Amino acid sequence: MNLPDTAALLYQATSRLNKTSDTPALDAELLLCAVCGIDRSAVTRDQSLVLTNRQRDFFSTLINRRAAGEPIAYLLQRKEFWSQELLVSPEVLIPRPETELLVEQALEHLPDQPCNVADLGTGSGAIALAIATERPNVQVTATDISQSALEVAMKNAVTLGVQNVTFRQGDWFTPLADQHYRLIVSNPPYVRVGDPRLEVGTLYEPVDALLSGYDGLDALRVICAAARRYLDHQGVLILEHACDQKIAVHELLSQGGFETIVCNTDLAGKPRVTWGRREKWE
């Protein structure tokens, strides 16, 4: 055989990724499948497949990019979230598993009857599309300041066949005008500038979707201060935040006029999502 077979290529690629990835073998398989246009079961069944020179070169390029720290989601241009496969690109933040807690809380707070929901800073549209899919009787307005991000989100909506989401460009509440919502959700930037916990992979993600001032609270301050005026009576604001921002977010919500405030923990037991309810109606 003139060219290395699939097994040899995977072995070499896995060794190359050992220092970069927590799942080197899986990453290598997924990238090989993407290059060859096959699924993982095909690789498992037959590891003697021979790649063309062009495929080998492309595979090598992808492995090198992954070894340098580029996220696998960007290389594959897709990421699963809430059982939905989403298109992702460097224009949007890669959806995280912990953000599914925000979706869970949103679904718990939504009434059975039709209502309006807003998703601020929608990015890939992951949160908005998950809510809209689970509750087809709600109307979701998804906003983002980035037109490039909205284009990704709109492509995802079309691919998934979701029709009850409207996408609007603008900063936080600006696109909402004077409308009121039963529920407002957001996974805003909440990483502080210079945070040593930033991983190599995050350096490839849009900085405006990650960083939010010296303490990571700039975006959360804006949202908490303004959200109440856009909520219906008994309306709820749900926010994702860093695990060490629980107290700060509680204070911001209280200052914003929210009466009932509850923090929920993620699967690791860390404070991750906090919601506040508008109890009074002036």
* pLDDT tens, residue by residue, 205-238: 898 888 898 899 999 999 999 999 999 989 999 9
CATH code, domain carrying 268: 3.40.50.150
Residue 1 has what pLDDT?
A: 33
pTM of the model: 0.91
Give domain status of residue 76, yes or no: no
Confidence of residue 3 (pLDDT cuts 50, 70, 90): very low
Q: Could you tell me if 273 and 134 lie in one domain?
A: yes
Q: What is the CATH number of the domain that holds 25?
A: 1.10.8.10
Residue-range definition of the domain harbouring residue 44: 6-68
73 within domain boundaries: no
Work out the average pLDDT over 188-199. Answer: 82
Q: Do residue 63 and residue 158 come from a single domain?
A: no
Q: What is the pLDDT of residues 25-55, one digit of tens each?
A: 999 999 999 998 888 877 767 666 778 889 9
Domain assignment of residue 74, yes or no: no
Residues 246 and 161 in one domain: yes
Domain end marker among 17, 34, 68: 68
Which pairing describes strands 139-144 and 116-120: parallel, antiparallel, or unpaired?
Answer: parallel
Residues 12 and 37 in one domain: yes
Domain count, the chain: 2
Can you give the pLDDT at residue 2?
Answer: 39
Determine the pLDDT at residue 278: 87
Residues 13 and 106 in one domain: no
Residue 182 lies in a domain: yes
Based on the domain organization, do 38 and 160 belong to the same domain?
no
Residues 11, 142, single domain; the answer is no
Whether 145 is covered by a domain: the verdict is yes
Q: Looking at residue 197, what is its pLDDT?
A: 66
Q: Indicate if 113 and 24 belong to the same structural domain.
A: no
Query: In the structure, what pLDDT confidence band is assigned to residue 200 with cuts at 50, 70 and 90?
Result: low
Same domain? For 56 and 91 the reply is no
Q: Is the pLDDT of residue 66 over 70?
A: yes
Q: Does 97 lie in the same domain as 59?
A: no
Q: Are residues 166 and 269 in the same domain?
A: yes
* Cβ–Cβ < 8 Å for 236, 275: yes
Same domain, 142 and 53: no
| Within a domain: 237 | yes
- Asked if residues 95 and 141 have their Cβ atoms less than 8 Å apart, the reply is no
Q: Which of 68, 90, 105 is the last residue of a domain?
A: 68
pLDDT single digits (tens) 158-183: 999 999 999 999 999 999 988 899 99
- Encoded tokens for 228: 């109440």
Q: Confirm if 91 and 122 have CB atoms less than 8 A apart.
A: no
Q: How far is CA 156 from CA 60, 159, 168, 188, 250, in A?
A: 29, 5, 15, 20, 33
